[in-house]
Amino acid sequence: MAKFNARKLIADFAWKRATGLLHTDDTLIITRSVMGKLGQTVSTTEVVQLSDFSEQRDPIIAALQKLQEDGRLPAPVICGIDPRGIYSVTKQITEDEKDIPAAEIVSAQIGTMEGGLAASMVPAKLAAGTFRTITAVSMWRAKQLLAGLEGIKSHKLQLPPMAGIILSQAAAAAKKPRRWNVCLRVLPGEAYGMALLTVGDALVAWRMFMPGRNGRLSKAGVEQALLGLLSHAKKDLLLERVDGCLLQVGTDAAAYEQMASGLSSNLDLDVRRAKAYQVDPLGLSQALAKWGMKATVHELDLFRGMQPQLGLSENFPRQACAAAMAAILACGFLLWDEATTLEDKVARIRAAAKTDANRARIQLSKVKKEHEVLQNEFIIARNFVAKRVFWEDFLRELPLLMPKGMRIVRIEGYNALRLSTKVSAQAKKSKIQISTEMIIPDNTSGTPPAMHEFIAALRDSETFSGSFPNISGANVKIVELRDGSAQVKMIVTCTQAKGS
């Protein structure tokens, strides 16, 4: 009798899957996570030693290509580089630096050669104004990962900064006090520890420190890292105060009580012990896979500037169109069922008329009434079958008219049909309502140009303007997001001309 393999069963009927790939100096740590349709999640982790591929010209590329050939790197793949190989800077960008690439700013800051870094930059909103957080990694390492993962589509690859992934895991393990806005976190680890500085939920700076004997926290190393972050917060980030520090070693670790009290007195800081979180390579690989299961794109994806722009096949709203097609098919089935019912009614009316004719007891009033009922039912069937709006033409052309970055939230189509012989003076018109939204870099006033371009494209389209010449936008809403960007929402209405 064959042995039951639950993991294989879940993998065969997978609903979601993702792979976390952590690149350290001498290993590749791969975590494969699979979620079944019933919600079960199975994760497997393996460690690939790069020394096994030392005879190859490039061991990293050879190892990744071998993993792909064996089917051990299912997409999407969320890549990560050991935090010791990541550079991060948070600073105010001057007028002279606005046109300088992020990689050159970091290179000048840390003194590396030009073109040797791959970097990405996002705004960080602090009390003193808007700063920029720049994260960079070695261009050589990033290109090695891309070359080894060449067989995977670009929109299935991400390279987020590991410090941000670590913060999300540490925050999930221990939430900061509600009144703390500027917070420090101390995370121990066997090879290295990390001290993080956050403002709100955003990571703005971090420092690393070496552990003490037997892998325990070194008070001197932790204090030096915290002093560096405190100095950076006050001098460079212009933060007035730091609310407190979470020492994530566990609330029952009595051995660290003396360290917490010592740090609190030496740094004049509220230091509290919190639920433990340890920085280790296996855990980081699993965190990357967990991030990939969310199916979201990190705002600091370092692969973004190294890959070609996504085309229509990646940006096309498949789920929305699939739902629209399912609704159209359902309406078609209902119309067919209604037409069948009407045919049965017509057959019964004809049989009743034939019976009355045979009895020679014809009542003109009854015949006139039945004639009107039959005529109305015929008009209903004819309008539903012959005069409906063919929505598939509009759904097929709509993605081609959308500007980059715009997303369709909802599409509503109204098909105004005449359902009786009497024509109302205020008959409703057929129309389409398109609810859209897009993210803009900052909260500027007024409607973004992309919204006007979208309305102009609809008016220039023969498909839309031919059936719905009255096209206008309304209900423009601008919502400021936490990261300093803004979300713009607008409803575009396309209606028929007057008298149509």
Q: Could you tell me what percentage of the chain is helix, strand and coil, using 3-state DSSP and rounding each to the nearest 5?
A: 40, 25, 30
Describe the strand order of the beta sheet including 157-158 as a list of residue ranges.
41-49, 27-36, 14-23, 77-81, 157-158
Rounded Cα–Cα distance for residues 445 and 448 (Å): 8
Q: Is 459 exposed, middle or buried (0-12, 13-18, 19+ CB in 10 A)?
A: middle
Q: Are 186 and 226 in contact (CB under 8 A)?
A: yes
pTM, two decimals, is: 0.57
Q: Are 79 and 21 in contact (CB under 8 A)?
A: yes
Spatial CA neighbour of 407 closest among 371, 367, 439: 439
The reported pLDDT for the residue numbered 394 is 83
Domain covering 1-158+284-290: architecture = 2-Layer Sandwich (3.30)
Q: Does 175-276 carry CATH code 3.30.365.10?
A: no
Strand, coil or helix: 57: coil
The token pair that represents 233 in the structure block: 């917060």
DSSP codes, 473-500: EEEEEEEE-TTS-EEEEEEEEEEPPTT-
The token pair that represents 421 in the structure block: 């012989």
Side chain identity, residue 195: A
Q: Which stretches of the chain drop beneath a pLDDT of 50?
A: 1-13, 423-427
Domain covering 389-500: architecture = 2-Layer Sandwich (3.30)
The reported pLDDT for the residue numbered 197 is 93
